[in-house]
Structure 1
Amino acid sequence: MPFGVDEAGKGPALGSMFAAAVRVPEAAALPEGIADSKRLAPERREELAATLYGDDRIVVGVAEVTPTLIDDPETNMNSLAVRAHAEAIEGAIETADVSADSPVSGLCDACDTDADRFARRVADACGLERDLDIAAEHGADDTDPIVGAASIVAKVERDASMAALTDEYGPVGSGYPSDPTTREFLESYVAERGELPPFARGSWSTCADVLADAEQTGLEQF
């Protein structure tokens, strides 16, 4: 049973990053319409993710990396991406009803300029007592349907987490620095409370700049 792994939310200023691993008997078991999540409308992604979760032949593992972990000065995004991929793989394999002697191989969408190095690091990070044959390629979410399925699950999980934040805090946007709604939310929140929201990545320049601008504005008012 091969698996594919991908992440969503590596670059935003708000919210968690998610990684997903999808394990299937064969690619033919995937629902029709699987593609890189970026090529699909949100409604279609949700439909496909629901189908993946609802198919007994398919096993899904998901890992979340919170803003607190992302802001930890003792780590970095490359290491966290490795950790998330490994945890997602563990989730997909540990819950699968397969023999420990069965070969397990999979493909990751590489989150490192050196794809082979990324694959080695993910394999080393997996805490499973079995041999794993893990490869990584750049753009695998666009060329491999199983990795494409993983990209859909990761994106849907990320979108759901942002929707939950919107329900609690009002419109927060996509969380990406280029999103005007996200920028407006950050500026308004900091102006009103004098601090970043708890789900902001404070180490990101976007968040640091908004906080610094608010502090400077406050000083100028005295």
Structure 2
Amino acid sequence: MLIGGIDEAGRGPIIGPLIVAGVCMRNEDVDAIVRLGVKDSKKLTPTTRLRLLPEILSRAQRIVVECIPPSLIDKYTSSSIRGGLNTLEAMIIALIISKLNAKTIFIDTPDIKPQRFKEVILSILRNDYNIDNVDIVVSHHADVQFPIVSIASVIAKVFRDSFIHELHSFYGDFGSGYPSDKKTLSFIEKCLRKGSLPPIIRSKWSTLKKFKKTSSLTLDDFLR
């Protein structure tokens, strides 16, 4: 039996893309990966994730990875679209489901109401892809509850780490991209002082507003 799992990496950072990954596997292959020590990617070191990836790639029936750029994230963050970023993620998840070819798919939800998120995905599947025969299980902490989602989590994190590494080579070391990272905040402040934000920054993220209080150059000054 083929089952699918979908998870994301990079929803919270202020720099870089959001990566959503889907994977389809036979149950016995999922069990084999579990025996190698797979779990939620956030609990694994980068070295361990890279070690697991070749085994995942060799056993997966299908892998789909979608990269959502900061510009699109900004559009849904700042627009009046109902659901905002959750709606965008539901659209990407529906796209991945349409490519996975699995009848049962487990999904980690960003919505505080899993059933609402599930209904949005099912609606998109019916209306945009004419798919109504897939069973989806939407849950909080699905990456901990369901090994197939843990595997998708590893894929998403490895791909995002790779993207961030490439961005470092072009823009310099801005750290992890998360608002809690002092190196990331220092990079953003330098960009504001220079008067330009590179396209890797999510310009509508609330973190930027904090610079109104911490920098002599306000965000309003920059946007003017």
TM-score range, shorter chain: 0.7 to 0.9
Partner deviation per Cα, 1:53-86 (whole Å, 9 max, x = no partner): 233x431111121111111133421112212222
Does residue 81 of structure 2 align to residue 92 of structure 1? no
| Aligned with 2:177 (options 170, 175, 178) | 175
Q: Which moved more, 1:109-118 or 1:75-84?
A: 75-84
Does residue 56 of structure 2 align to residue 52 of structure 1? yes
Q: Is the 8 A contact 1:190 1:214 kept in 2?
A: no
Shift of 1:23: 0.7
Counterpart position of 2:9: 8
Q: Which moved more, 1:26-35 or 1:155-164?
A: 26-35
- In structure 2, the gaps of 5 or more residues are none
Counterpart position of 1:98: none
Counterpart position of 2:208: 207
Counterpart position of 2:70: 67
Higher helix share: 2
Structure-2 separation of matches of 1:173 and 1:107:
32
Counterpart position of 1:140: 142
Q: Which moved more, 1:121-130 or 1:2-11?
A: 121-130
Structure-1 separation of matches of 2:162 and 2:99:
19
Q: Is the 8 A contact 1:19 1:64 kept in 2?
A: yes
Q: Is the 8 A contact 2:20 2:92 kept in 1?
A: yes
Please report the RMSD computed on the Cα atoms of aligned residues, expressed in angstroms. 2.1
Q: How many residue pairs align between the two structures?
A: 207
Shift of 1:150: 0.6
Paired amino acid for 1:79: T
Q: Is the 8 A contact 1:78 1:111 kept in 2?
A: yes
Given the two structures, how large is their TM-score scaled by the length of structure 2?
Answer: 0.84
Does residue 79 of structure 2 align to residue 80 of structure 1? no
Paired amino acid for 1:8: A
Structure-1 separation of matches of 2:44 and 2:154:
9
SS in 2 for 1:151: helix
Structure-1 separation of matches of 2:119 and 2:32:
28
SS in 2 for 1:60: strand
Structure-2 separation of matches of 1:138 and 1:189:
36
Structure-1 separation of matches of 2:129 and 2:33:
25
Partner deviation per Cα, 1:73-102 (whole Å, 9 max, x = no partner): 334211122122222223333xxxxxxxxx
Structure-1 separation of matches of 2:175 and 2:68:
19
Change (3 A) 1:164 1:129: same
Structure-2 separation of matches of 1:151 and 1:49:
11
Shift of 1:206: 1.6
Q: Is the 8 A contact 1:63 1:84 kept in 2?
A: yes
Paired amino acid for 2:25: V
- In structure 1, the gaps of 5 or more residues are 94-102
Shift of 1:142: 0.8
Q: Is the 8 A contact 1:52 1:58 kept in 2?
A: no
Paired amino acid for 2:146: D
Q: Is the 8 A contact 1:109 1:140 kept in 2?
A: yes
Counterpart position of 1:119: 118
Shift of 1:119: 1.6
Structure-2 separation of matches of 1:48 and 1:123:
31
Given the two structures, how large is their TM-score scaled by the length of structure 1?
Answer: 0.85
SS in 2 for 1:206: helix
Q: Which moved more, 1:116-125 or 1:147-156?
A: 116-125
Shift of 1:216: 4.3
Shift of 1:50: 2.7
Q: Is the 8 A contact 2:192 2:217 kept in 1?
A: no
